[in-house]
Amino acid sequence: MREFNAVVLGAGGVGKSALVVRFTQDQFLDTYDPTIEEAYSKTWTVDDELVQLDVLDTAGAEQFTAITELYIKAATGFVLVFSLIQEASLKEVSNLRTQIARVKGVSEADVPLVVVGTKSDLVYEREVQPETLKELSYQWTVPFYETSAKKNSHVQEAFDDLVRQMRTQETRQLLDHRKRVKRPKRKPKTCVVM
């Protein structure tokens, strides 16, 4: 079984905990209780392979910026969360994406991540339009998911996608490592006849 770890980041109150609890425990949290840090784990099958994902649910990114950098350093995958009913939370996702690349020392395209818009069931309160998400998805070349933890809509798909990205990155890094490791050159055998 392959094991991965991911951190869930986003502004406060966007539904990070509800998303993670729906994914890991198949339950809906209907009351808001601000999180500082909670660890969850789920084992399931993705593309006929058993995987375990350890998920760290964090406080709102704006609250503990120094701790956020520690989370970023430790994680291999990221779920960036914003609320579809709070347009300002999408700006935080953009900032986090840039911060992750900076802390990891890689380009933004080399980071396994999914962007998740929560609360898609609150149709009449929506502030972030689908066209905006399509445009950003194209610009950033990352998948965006509109989810509802309440209705259990597209939650599993987002985490499946993240695991696929992490597997691909792990394989790529292994191949790159093998290319860099040089095999010792054999000294030519010499024969001296006297």
Q: What pTM does this model have?
A: 0.88
- Please report, for the chain, the start and end positions of each structural domain, with discontinuous segments joined by +: 2-180
Average pLDDT rounded to a whole number, residues 93-122: 93
d(CA 82, CA 142): 15
User: What's the confidence (pLDDT) of residue 98?
Assistant: 92
* Three-class secondary structure of residue 127 per DSSP: coil
Read off the pLDDT of each residue in 89-115 and give the average, rounded to a whole number. Answer: 92
Cα–Cα distance measured from residue 60 to residue 120, given in angstroms and rounded to the nearest whole number: 20
- 2-180, what's its fold? Rossmann fold (3.40.50)
